[in-house]
Structure 1
Amino acid sequence: MDQEAVRGPGGRCVETTAARHMRELDRAEALRLLSTVSLGRIVFTHHALPAVRPVNHFVSGGDIVIRIHEDGALGALVAPADAPGVVVAYEADVIDPVTHLGWSVVVTGYARVVADADEVDRYAHLLHPWVTHPMTGVLRIRPDLVTGFRLEGDPTRPVPAIRG
């Protein structure tokens, strides 16, 4: 049997079958999975370099919504009113550290600040900041490109065994 050894919880040696495969997700399934988690990572340009920040989010009408504060790095994503937005990527995943099974979704699209005060108020009640710094705005990412995959095991192969 083709197996690999990895360290599981508590440093225990875990054998996992190498009979995993990657299945591409369609757009609808990828966005559905994204809506089941609240943590992701936004990738953007900061001082002409790529930057990544963990943020909480929710999915609304196919868009990814996050909160920002003006003086933070994400505050720089405010685009002029006549621009389509700022290109960003957003990634979220759930991958089991022992079995290496799960999924990952990447959304690429334009991020724009939500200007409607009623929408901002509604979103502010749905997204709670992780730090005590007050959040001053809401960013909406409209997905243009949605890619995702699911790492699946072969059901005919044994479940990973944890060794002492």
Structure 2
Amino acid sequence: MTDDATPAPARRSVDLGHAEALALLGSVSLGRVVFTRQALPTVRPVNHVLVDGDLVIRTHERAALTLRAGQGEGDGVVVAYEADDIDPVTHLGWSVVVTGYARLVTDPGERARYDALLRPWVDRTMEHAIRIHPTLVTGVRLVAA
């Protein structure tokens, strides 16, 4: 471990390609969804699953994101989603951010599929699924210099 007096080893950031970034995102189950609420950014930790290139999360009836994603029949609501795996000691690892549209899943068959694939981490009934289609995928790997 390093302390404030010991400089951390040098590291550099390497950009990830689209496919590698999505593969890394699919290798973890926890991330952070970012959306606007009352015109301000809001961040929520959620668990996810990657299905056919889309992220799927579960939400409850009164969740702010459920209400936002379910409004209207348009493109949905713009969100960002971030997940990472960074070692707390070496500070090496990766971070991936996807930006895209979040839409409430309304098809009962599709919803049942996501219910079977994704178990919420919190002790609360999650009646809804939200699918996020990544429009922009970026990521970095932090490696020793």
TM exceeds 0.5? yes
Amino acid aligned to 1:94: D
Secondary structure of 2:3's counterpart equals strand
In structure 2, the residue matched to 1:49 is 40
**The one of 49, 54, 71 aligned to 1:63:** 54
Check conservation: 1:93, 1:102, Cα contact below 8 A: yes
Matched residues, number: 144
The answer to whether 1:95 aligns with 2:86 is yes
Check conservation: 2:96, 2:138, Cα contact below 8 A: yes
User: Partners of 1:44 and 1:136 in 2: how far apart?
Assistant: 20
Shift of 1:44: 0.3
- Percent identity reads 57
RMSD: 1.8
> Deviation string for 1:45-101 (max 9, x for gaps)?
1121110000000111111100111112222222311x1110000000000011000
Amino acid aligned to 1:138: A
Q: Map of 1:1-150 to 2, 5 A cutoff? A: 5-6=2-3, 16-18=8-10, 20-77=11-68, 78-81=70-73, 83-150=74-141
Stretches (4+) displaced over 3 A: 4-7, 13-16
Amino acid aligned to 1:102: G
TM-score by length of 2: 0.92
1:80 and 1:36, CA in 2 relative to 1: closer, same or farther beyond 3 A? same
Structure number with greater Rg is 1
TM-score by length of 1: 0.82
Secondary structure of 2:21's counterpart equals helix
Q: Any unmatched runs of 5+ in structure 1?
A: 8-12, 155-164
Check conservation: 1:6, 1:98, Cα contact below 8 A: no
Secondary structure of 1:17's counterpart equals coil
